[in-house]
Amino acid sequence: MTYWHTCAKKHRESTFAKQADRGSASLWGVALMGLLMTVAMAFVTVGSVRVARHHVQDAADLSALAAARLAIVDPQAACDRAKIIAAKNAVQLLQCTLTGEIADVRTSLTITLPAIGTRTLTGRARAGPSEYTDQARHPWTGTHGPAPMDRHPWTGAGTPSRGARPEQERGPGQAPRTRAGTRTA
């Protein structure tokens, strides 16, 4: 076998090897696109479930507020109003319980997910008047209204009292500061 025959044979073999590999990049590209589509579909599914969960919880909150608003005036119509609010939000009212002035509401929403099937999401909310009234005394200070914030709760740093100007602030044992930041005494 001559040199030219050997070179021609190697050329044919390398050409055949290149032709055998032809099209494999297309297969890898299709496989990668399929993987990306699967991941994107998973993200879309998780996102839609989260949106539906927030939707059913928001509907429960609104229904509870509507029921609590009418709980004192007309207890019979309170749960009817909660049912109307839930229906307007495209969810089903499962339970409406009035305990005095407090409304306890449960709502549900059925969703269909691809490859998983049908699932039911539930939301629960309570609403009623706040425990704090103007006549209530603060448990720490015994005064009416909110607790005074003379010190920051975590750092302990002082905060100016309401109505005080910065030049009037005084720390313990400190002379008042002037506007320029120097001490007067």
Instruction: Please state, in angstroms and as integers, the Cα–Cα distance from residue 73 to each residue in 55, 64, 77, following that order.
Output: 28, 15, 9
Each domain of the chain, given as residue ranges in start order, spans 28-127
Average pLDDT over residues 147-168: 50
Q: Per residue in 92-150, pLDDT tens?
A: 999 999 988 899 999 999 999 888 899 999 999 999 887 645 444 545 555 555 545 55
CA distances from 25 to 17, 28, 38 (A): 15, 5, 20
pLDDT in tens, 28-81: 999 999 999 999 999 999 999 999 999 999 999 999 999 999 988 888 899 999
The pLDDT of 15-30, averaged and rounded, is 73
91 pLDDT more than 90? yes
Which element (helix H / strand E) includes 107?
Answer: strand 102-113
In angstroms, the CA 94 to CA 86 distance is 10
The predicted model scores a pTM of 0.57
Residue 28, SS3?
helix
Alpha helices in the chain (DSSP H): 3-21, 24-71, 75-88
- Answer whether residue 165 shows pLDDT above 50: no
- Residue 89's pLDDT is 94
